[in-house]
Structure 1
Amino acid sequence: LFIDEYDHFTNKILSEPSCLEDYKSETYGTSYLRSFFDTVKAGTDSTIKRCFVTGVSPVTMDDLTSGFNIGTNYSLSPEFNEMTGFNEEEVRAMLDYYATTCQFHHSTDELIEAMKPWYDNYCFAEQSYGGTTMYNSNMVLYFVDNYIRNRGYMPRNMVEENIRVDYNKLRMLIRKDKEFTHDASTIQTLVQQGYITGELKTGFPAETIAEPDNFISLLFYFGMLTISGTKRGKTLLTIPNQVVREQLYSYLLDTYNEADLRFDNWEKGKLASAMAYRGDWKAYFDYIAECPHRYSSQRDKQKGEAYVHGFTLAMTAQNRFYRPISEQENQEGYADIFMFPLLDIYKDMLHSYIIELKYAKGKDSDEKVEQLRQEAITQANRYAASETVQKAIGTTTLHKIIVVYQGMKMVVCEEV
């Protein structure tokens, strides 16, 4: 017996505001779902030799344990780490094959270099970290299909529309994340530190979703986090790649956007284009500085430094001409952001950017603001000279932008 997406309808129920009672009526007591799995369990003594159940959320099976307590959970087992997705050897073999039958303008190494930051870096078992990483198979096939149909030119959009997170289905995540009583939400902490730690759970009751380890586990199972080793006895989890980073930053903007407004995509697109092709960057950062005042709650604004940094990262991640790279992505503390120009896609781009963002409290003195400004200049100059940046900018003009906030007000925005 094969059961796929066993959790589909319960995830839908959980995404509704008044979800828990409906959820319990379907999974507790003499509910249909529990009775169904009771029947499956009984069938293993006679007609069912093997049962294989797949899904995303670890919630439902936990609530059905007494109805189906004979299964083995292989979700975090290292022997199945490479079961889902493609490893790099498989991706290379695919590209090598199509290069002999289709028109290619890039070598396999060049295509891997373009795809890797967007689609790679999944690890599904802690013991497998440091070994083989997995590419998102859907995204690899999307890229190869578009590359072939474009006669050997890179897709203009590296993210397939169908794979973007469906926010209606994930309203549960948004709502639960905002209900946390911590100083910052889990997503905010992830963006602030570049990582998050926790214990991955194989299952938990629905009513305990908001517990930190359970919520972190849910993000992992939804593919928003990947295992990146251990830290202080806990599993270290990071954002796996740029596709997920775009989703998470869009998600973060949604958590800020309590008024259910939508950022002006046309205006953002116009400013992004001016930044990439004309070097007009000031209006772009003025727009970012204005948005928190227009869209954010007082509670969000009280988070101060974490909020300003997270909001800036989330907004720059929406710029389709660049891939934001943080110098210290996996280390705590704020770092320069290099807006990596996507020259393989937009070959005529003329400008690239380094952003050094600093934050002063609203009550801090002007001397403190100037101190932060000088620190930012030093760090931006150092980062600009790095091999990563110099290799990536190509023929574009590199701009080093210093931004300092004092409270919620941007008091410095200049090029050095």
Structure 2
Amino acid sequence: MIRFPYGISNFQRIREAGFLYLDRTRHIATLEEAGEQLVFLRPRRFGKSLWLSTLANYYDIKTADQFDVLFGGLEAGRTPTPERNSYLILRWDFSKVSAQGKIEQIKSSLFKHLNETIKAFNRDYANFLQSSVDIDEDALASFQSACNIVGSSGQRIYLLIDEYDNFANEVLVRDPHNSRRYQDLLEGEGILKSLFKIIKGSAAEGKIGRVFITGVSPLVLADMTSGYNVATDISQQARFNSLCGITQAELDGLVTNVLQHCGHEENQREGLLQTLKQFYNGYRFCEQMEKPLLYNPILCFHFLRHYQDECTAPRQMLDGNLMMDAARIRYLAGQPSGKGVVERILDEENTITLDVLESRFGVEKLADLQQDERYLLSLLYYFGVLTIVDTDMLGKLTLGIPNLVTRALYVEELRQRILPAPKDRIAVANMAEAFYQSAELQPLADYLEQSYFSAFNNRDYAWSNELTIKTAFLTLLFNDIYYVVDSETALQRRYADLVLMIRPSMRRYPTLKDIVLEFKYLSLKTLGLSGEQVRGQSRESLTQLPAVKAALHEALQQLQHYRDVLAEKYREPERLHCLAVVALGFDRVVWQGL
């Protein structure tokens, strides 16, 4: 059995206890060449902490006698660099700093964390230091003392900072309409700026030999630039694209091993890989399209560990540890331009492009964040809920949702905004569950007409179109427990609007249906009717209107093609239901099955 290191970011424990370790140590030599002070940004739960632990064990002067045990069989063990095991390691984890309370409370939490790590540093390296570090109530003084004593002892510090932006970003997200606390942390002689000035000065004096900083976004970095303007950001350098994350080749080997453990046939391999690809793949962190797309490691371990233990896929594809990302989407969607951006992102027919990713924006740009979607889109990229999918003919970046797990976060955000009352969301979930088993659209259509459409404001009505209707159905029907839910699914170079195909592990439940929906939208002006006239007619009479008949006919012709393709692929035509749906303004819905 593979011992998956789910939630374990301690390199030494992983290596000594025989957990799976995907070797990234070939990057160590390249990192040494890249610079002495580096910044590496990646989304949450992507393996950054494990990489810091790897660096700590490789460079720590105390682990020299364990080098062969820890790095034997790894690339760094075969070709070590001259700097191995030559530093005193000081590591900070800013995710442990509380963002609660006023600025003095945050400062106290930061100072407590710094002092605790400096005390441990003083204790661990006592044999390498000429004297003890003075621990002061002011942790900045403690840090300065540590740097001075290390320098006078003829040693050098390798400073590792994990989640450098965590608590500052939490301050911002928790209090989006009042950035004062955030500004107090970073502006003028703010705590973080002062701290990084000491880092910069101590590095210049040779007391700190190397610095490696991880985080999620460059927002905080921009605000402390004047205090720390010497770091090289390697986040988008193509050579480090796969420093964190799982590659396709690595996943292929893991899936093969898990299937063999369960005694499952090789013919199940392709379906399993396809599920993992649809839900967890799609991340690219550079502009070179030839670089491989990456999988989210913690999600893959969540899935594979469950499969290995139970010999079936987990019921929930989204690991609860990633639900915190929903708060960041909610914060950005709450900006004045945010809701429109979320809806555009879900529209796969129209691509989203950026000239460049914004990388040096600070708190002074918050006004732009509220109005300029370039900043919103860039932050969504850094949070890992958008990724680089292509470049256009002018070299602009095309951004898109990386996978279905991430799409679920966007859909849930829209669902929360359109259906804020829990009782409404429960009612819709019950109607959707009935639809999955019957493909009978009437209860959902009645709900759309009577309740859901009223949630759209006048602006939505003025700009309503086929996309708006598709988004409404996507919001109501999205369910990644039972389905692979996709919009604009490619079916032999033609695209279906919304496809709900039963997940391979759920096909054993015979009542579930495969469902394909094709949408058409007719404005009241096109129909030559008022909203009151449309609402006053039965669905049967509306279906006989010439424009409606034509729209249904066109949709049914498209559905016939999709049905042929899907029936051949899944070999269960009796479970496949295809529905042509026509919206008449935001007033009525009619449909016809194939």
TM-score (norm 1): 0.88
Contact kept in structure 2, 1:165 and 1:247, CA below 8 Å: no
Aligned partner letter, 2:359: T
Contact kept in structure 2, 1:253 and 1:311, CA below 8 Å: no
Q: Does 1:214 align with 2:393?
A: no
**Match 1:406 to one of 571, 578, 584:** 584
Aligned 1:310-329 pairs, distance under 5 A: 310-318=471-479, 320-327=481-488
Equivalence for 2:162? 4
Question: Matches of 1:224 and 1:397 in 2, distance apart?
Answer: 33
Cα distance per residue 1:168-201 (max 9 Å; x no partner): 454321211xx029xx711211222443111212
Equivalence for 1:189? 344
The Cα shift of 1:104 comes to 4.4
Aligned partner letter, 1:158: M
Question: Matches of 1:389 and 1:205 in 2, distance apart?
Answer: 52
Question: Matches of 1:50 and 1:342 in 2, distance apart?
Answer: 48
**Match 2:559 to one of 375, 380, 402:** 380
Aligned 1:44-55 pairs, distance under 5 A: 44-45=203-204, 46-55=206-215
Question: Matches of 2:357 and 2:163 in 1, distance apart?
Answer: 20
Single out whichever of 335-344 and 236-245 deviates more from structure 2: 335-344
Residue 36 of structure 1 aligns to a residue whose secondary structure is helix
Aligned partner letter, 2:317: M
Aligned 1:9-408 pairs, distance under 5 A: 9-15=167-173, 16-45=175-204, 46-102=206-262, 104=264, 107-127=268-288, 129-150=289-310, 152-176=311-335, 179-180=336-337, 185-194=340-349, 195-198=351-354, 199-206=356-363, 207=366, 208-210=368-370, 211-233=372-394, 234-256=396-418, 260-262=420-422, 264-293=424-453, 295-305=455-465, 306-318=467-479, 320-327=481-488, 335-350=496-511, 351-365=513-527, 366-386=545-565, 388=566, 390-392=568-570, 394=572, 396-408=574-586
In structure 2, relative to structure 1, the CA distance for the partners of 1:265 and 1:103 (3 Å cut) is farther
Question: Matches of 1:154 and 1:396 in 2, distance apart?
Answer: 24
Aligned partner letter, 2:171: I
Cα distance per residue 1:198-219 (max 9 Å; x no partner): 1212231232323222211111
Cα distance per residue 1:224-249 (max 9 Å; x no partner): 11211112421011111111111111
Residue 233 of structure 2 aligns to a residue whose secondary structure is coil
Cα distance per residue 1:283-309 (max 9 Å; x no partner): 234334544235444444443124322
The Cα shift of 1:161 comes to 2.1
Contact kept in structure 2, 1:7 and 1:57, CA below 8 Å: yes
Question: Matches of 1:3 and 1:403 in 2, distance apart?
Answer: 53
Single out whichever of 140-149 and 165-174 deviates more from structure 2: 165-174
Residue 44 of structure 1 aligns to a residue whose secondary structure is helix
Question: Matches of 2:563 and 2:573 in 1, distance apart?
Answer: 14
In structure 2, relative to structure 1, the CA distance for the partners of 1:132 and 1:13 (3 Å cut) is same
Residue 254 of structure 2 aligns to a residue whose secondary structure is helix
In structure 2, relative to structure 1, the CA distance for the partners of 1:373 and 1:290 (3 Å cut) is same
Contact kept in structure 1, 2:236 and 2:286, CA below 8 Å: yes
Structure 1: tracts of 5 or more residues without a match: none
In structure 2, relative to structure 1, the CA distance for the partners of 1:249 and 1:393 (3 Å cut) is farther
Cα distance per residue 1:65-109 (max 9 Å; x no partner): 111100111111111111121001111222333445455466443
Residue 308 of structure 2 aligns to a residue whose secondary structure is helix
Contact kept in structure 1, 2:284 and 2:388, CA below 8 Å: yes
The Cα shift of 1:137 comes to 0.4
Contact kept in structure 1, 2:489 and 2:498, CA below 8 Å: no
Cα distance per residue 1:128-150 (max 9 Å; x no partner): x2441111101100001111221
Contact kept in structure 1, 2:326 and 2:409, CA below 8 Å: no
Question: Matches of 2:567 and 2:291 in 1, distance apart?
Answer: 27
In structure 2, relative to structure 1, the CA distance for the partners of 1:286 and 1:149 (3 Å cut) is farther
Q: Which has the higher contact order (CA 8 A, sep 6+)?
A: 1
Aligned partner letter, 2:591: C
Residue 232 of structure 2 aligns to a residue whose secondary structure is coil
Contact kept in structure 2, 1:41 and 1:70, CA below 8 Å: yes
Residue 90 of structure 1 aligns to a residue whose secondary structure is helix
Question: Matches of 2:504 and 2:270 in 1, distance apart?
Answer: 16
Cα distance per residue 1:251-294 (max 9 Å; x no partner): 2333445xx43364443343333233344343234334544235
Contact kept in structure 2, 1:357 and 1:404, CA below 8 Å: yes
Contact kept in structure 1, 2:317 and 2:481, CA below 8 Å: no
Contact kept in structure 2, 1:339 and 1:352, CA below 8 Å: yes
Contact kept in structure 1, 2:520 and 2:551, CA below 8 Å: yes
Residue 275 of structure 1 aligns to a residue whose secondary structure is helix
Cα distance per residue 1:381-405 (max 9 Å; x no partner): 122222x453136364221111111
The Cα shift of 1:153 comes to 1.4
- Kindly indicate which of the two structures has a greater share of residues assigned to helix: 2
Question: Matches of 1:302 and 1:292 in 2, distance apart?
Answer: 16
Residue 412 of structure 1 aligns to a residue whose secondary structure is strand
Contact kept in structure 1, 2:261 and 2:308, CA below 8 Å: no
Single out whichever of 197-206 and 94-103 deviates more from structure 2: 94-103
In structure 2, relative to structure 1, the CA distance for the partners of 1:168 and 1:317 (3 Å cut) is same
Alignment coverage as a number of residue pairs: 405
Residue 578 of structure 2 aligns to a residue whose secondary structure is strand
In structure 2, relative to structure 1, the CA distance for the partners of 1:215 and 1:180 (3 Å cut) is same
Contact kept in structure 2, 1:3 and 1:54, CA below 8 Å: yes
Single out whichever of 261-270 and 401-410 deviates more from structure 2: 261-270
Structure 2: tracts of 5 or more residues without a match: 1-158, 528-544
Question: Matches of 1:255 and 1:180 in 2, distance apart?
Answer: 14
Rg larger in 1 or in 2? 2
Task: Give me the CA root mean square deviation.
Answer: 2.6
Question: Matches of 1:99 and 1:263 in 2, distance apart?
Answer: 41
